[in-house]
Structure 1
């Protein structure tokens, strides 16, 4: 499987990146490709068109319902309904309780998304399957209901499976530690800076993301969800003080092969 960074800016879209959105793909034995999105934040839909035709999406997996992670569902709805060749088949959308109401709020039309989206609610630590992917959601620490997503899928070299963990938005907590255990790649938000952002219960810092990676024994750490007003290099430097493995910064268009 492979992970394409569509958008990685935190809290708002930025001058160099859309908000949270990642395309996870795996090739199938029949020659096709399974494609799922992790989040679809502000500005991400337009960038998604670089990588996949939206009607080819098998599912959208939402970590939580804050705008910077979901707002471009409204754009996806318009595309699926009105783009040439449409209306297209409905796409499964997994998210916290209330995802259907959130889509209605974004579209401005009651029940308008029902024809193009099939919504499903995460249940803590109850896995779901989309094609070759098994997705296990785990409740994490954020001001609204939020989930880390532990995704197991086929290794791109055809030998066994690999595990990707997306923290979503969270501070350090038992849930995200359990989700991240032994991951091949940990895609961890790091929106806060040490000694600047003292509020707890919302986001990780680079240091806390590194501590998570070390405690969970992950193979590789990728830092993401960094706002335009936060220093990416400072966040990475913080992570390197608490984790001695490979530390990357998510950048739009970069593909990670698992």
Structure 2
């Protein structure tokens, strides 16, 4: 299993770094795109075939899903290599409606995406199988309706990628990340969450605490806004977790 960071900028895209979007690949299988933020489609074109990918969503804030409408256009209308079949899509219960409104011709219309994606809503804590991996959506504390962390396990090897999605501090994140080989954890509040609202985002020190409690092998800090102090956020995470910590960057690849 291989994880590629297509983009991990927080709240919006940044120069050279699309919004939240990750690609999980297993040889011989379609890719699995995990979130599809602004700029994700361009990044995906550089590493894989956009017409041959499943899509899973942590939640549906724009910085995690806004390029999905463009992905659907590619899959339908590419002149020589459109999608050859429907691929799987998982996300909040209203995903098809939400994306259908994004891709519609007018304000009262909804584009039917069922021609190109077979959509199934998440059931919290209920694993689903996508080819060679099992994905478990774990509910988290965020302002978006039906927000989940995602735990992706390759069944043949037991390797695990965990992704916090967007969330405030909650014990469910420890469950989602337990023993993960790579834990992609948001740190949108920067070094500390002091004075910030609950139930929205995490800070560097909180990400480190979760990684420590969950016993992860590698913590990758993501969803940091372009204006934030990344090095201070990294230092705060290190104050809580003495394992391997990286600042996520577009183009990073992890072979598991």
Partner of 1:181: 178
Alpha-carbon offset, residue 154 of structure 1: 5.4
Among 39, 61, 67, which residue is 1:43 paired with? Answer: 39
**2-structure distance, mates of 1:221, 1:154:** 21
Cα displacement string for residues 147-172 of structure 1 (whole angstroms, at most 9, x for unaligned residues) = 011111157xxxx3211111100111
Change (3 A) 1:150 1:84: same
Alpha-carbon offset, residue 34 of structure 1: 3.6
Among 170, 174, 177, which residue is 2:167 paired with? Answer: 170
Note if contact 2:193-2:203 (Cα within 8 Å) is conserved in structure 1. no
Structure 1 unmatched ranges of 5 or more: none
**1-structure distance, mates of 2:195, 2:24:** 31
Partner of 2:55: 60
Note if contact 2:212-2:240 (Cα within 8 Å) is conserved in structure 1. yes
Partner of 1:214: 212
Partner of 1:143: 143
Note if contact 1:26-1:154 (Cα within 8 Å) is conserved in structure 2. no
Structure 2 unmatched ranges of 5 or more: none
Partner of 1:125: 125
SS at match of 2:36: coil
Change (3 A) 1:197 1:117: farther
Partner of 1:95: 91
Any runs of at least 4 consecutive aligned residues in structure 1 with deviations exceeding 2 A, and if so which?
85-88
Cα displacement string for residues 194-217 of structure 1 (whole angstroms, at most 9, x for unaligned residues) = 166522210110000000000111
**Segment drifting more, 237-246 vs 172-181:** 172-181
Partner of 1:223: 221
- Is 1:83 aligned to residue 78 of structure 2? yes
Q: How many residues of Structure 1 are paired with residues of Structure 2 in the alignment?
A: 249
Alpha-carbon offset, residue 231 of structure 1: 1.4
**1-structure distance, mates of 2:83, 2:226:** 36
**1-structure distance, mates of 2:230, 2:120:** 34
Change (3 A) 1:91 1:229: same
Alpha-carbon offset, residue 185 of structure 1: 1.2
Alpha-carbon offset, residue 16 of structure 1: 2.7
TM-score, length-scaled by structure 2:
0.93
